[in-house]
Structure formats: structure tokens, C-alpha cells
Amino acid sequence: MNFTAFIAQKVASGHKLLAPYLCAGYPTPEHTVALLHALAEGGADFIELGIPFSDPLADGPVLQAASLKALKAGATLDKALEAAATFRAQRAAAGGPEVPVALMGYTNPFLSMGAETLARKAQNAGIAALLVPDLLPELWDHLSAPGMPPMIPFAAPNTPVERLEELGRLGGPFLYAVAVLGVTGTRENLDDAVPSFLARARARTGLPVMAGFGISRPEQVPDLAPSCDGLIIGSALAKALEAATDPIQAATDFLKPFRVALDALVEKTD
């Protein structure tokens, strides 16, 4: 599957994308594959599968705690790739529509595996893209290898216009637009300037734009989604799983209202 074409087709159709972030191995390693299925059933267009790391600098306390718990339970990059491969195979066997999985993680685990091994294992698992928030595009060559999935660039509200244009020239599936300055985490309210940042990012990069960081409630959808091509939700999902007696059902129940809100927005503009 060509992930760039997949995203472009969705955007061209007017569809608003929904991408949950799931920390691999959280709340337990045994939950990961079932949670991927639950998020697909909840309306995910693609899923970011996070690789637990001991020093996740871009993550707030909720995702840091999830990462630490997953690591203590034995979660690894290899096990995350195995879970993605199992999910993909089971999805295909059931005849369901493909829901791509992108890996989001920090540089060290990827470099420790080695670029060529990572590319081979990612390709075998059907990984659609890599998101590495602590690796600047100028250093992407460190993870360059035949068959490596495409890399996703990041931008923040204080990213200069010139830099946005540089990121746009990289091409690729989409731009990850960090909606708040700081680390991940739920926010009750997002700055009024966020929609204008998202619109600027779309215009200057020419790439589809996914907004992440701080998005926690379906009520935020009408304010954010018109200015971008989709939303990424992480910390709020992790909190929902933490509080759940049945994490699998909780994942589906958590995501569905976001899917409903995004679809309602599209219907309203048709």
C-alpha cells in the first residue's frame, strides 16, 4: 500500500482523517493487537503505534506513564512490529478495509535496531510510515535504507514560514502539526490561534495536515477540523484505557464520538 496515495485519496474525497495513538504494550502487551482492532472498529483511518521509550521527551505525564508501564511489562520495538503484522494479517483474513499502522517512536530504539533491519521488519509488518519527533529532517539519512517507510515531518505554531515551505518540499504522506507548544497531554481549551496555524501549515507546505497534541474532546472538532485534514489523539485515549475495566471496549467507545463529530462536520459542509 502506498500510504501517501492513501492519505491523498482520503483528503481529495473530503474525508476528515482520524488517527489514534496507541502505546504498544499498554495497558499490557497482550492487549495491543485487540486494541488495534478496537480502534479500527471505532473509526480510525490509520493508527499510530507508539514505541515505548525510557526518555520520551515530547510526551507529557500520561504518555510517559504509559510508556514506562509498557516497558516494565516487556514491550519492545520487535514486539510492536509483531503486533502490527498480526493485526494486518487478521484484518486481511477477515476481509475488512485496510487500516494502516504508522510507527511513532524516538531515534534511539530505531538506531539500536539498525536502519536496514528496521526497514526490512517494517516492510514485512506492513508499516505505513515512521514518525520520529526527535529526529530533524536534515538527519533522516540516519534511518535511510531500502524499503524504509516514508518519514513524517513535524511543525509547531512557532515554525517559521520558510521552514514550513522547506518541509513541504520534502513531500510525503502528511505534516504532523503540533497544536500546542510543549509536550503531549489533554487540554480543556486550545489557543484561538491554532486554526490559523493549521491553515498556514496547509497553505505553505502543500501537504495534508494532521493536528495532534492537546486534543481530548469531540467538542473540539468543529473548531479544529475545518483548518486541517484530520486529528491525532493520544493522551486522552491513554487516560480512557487507564480508567477502564474493559480496555478493548473502552477504546472503541472513546474513538467513536470523534468519528461521528468529524463525519458530521463533512456532511454539514456538503
Give the residue numbers annotated as catalytic, written as ranges. 48, 59
Cell numbers found for residue 239? 487516560
Instruction: State how far Cα 257 lies from the chain centre.
Output: 18
Contact 60, 23 (CB under 8 A): no
- Residue 228: HSE in the Cβ half-sphere, 13 Å Cα cutoff: 28
Helix then strand then coil, in percent of the chain rounded to 5, is 55, 15, 35
Q: Which of 16, 26, 28, 33 is nearest to 237 (CA)?
A: 26
Q: What is the spatial distance between Cα 65 and Cα 74, in angstroms, rounded to a whole number? A: 14
Measured in Å, how far apart are the chain's first and last C-alpha atoms?
A: 29
Q: What is the spatial distance between Cα 142 and Cα 153, in angstroms, rounded to a whole number? A: 15
Q: Which helix (H) or strand (E) holds 224?
A: helix 221-224
Give the Cβ contact number of residue 241 at 10 Å. 22
- Residue 100: HSE in the Cβ half-sphere, 13 Å Cα cutoff: 25
Fill in the amino acid letter for 85. A
Using left for φ > 0, alpha for ψ between -120 and 50, and beta otherwise, residue 74 falls in left
Contact 73, 130 (CB under 8 A): no
Cell numbers found for residue 30? 497482550
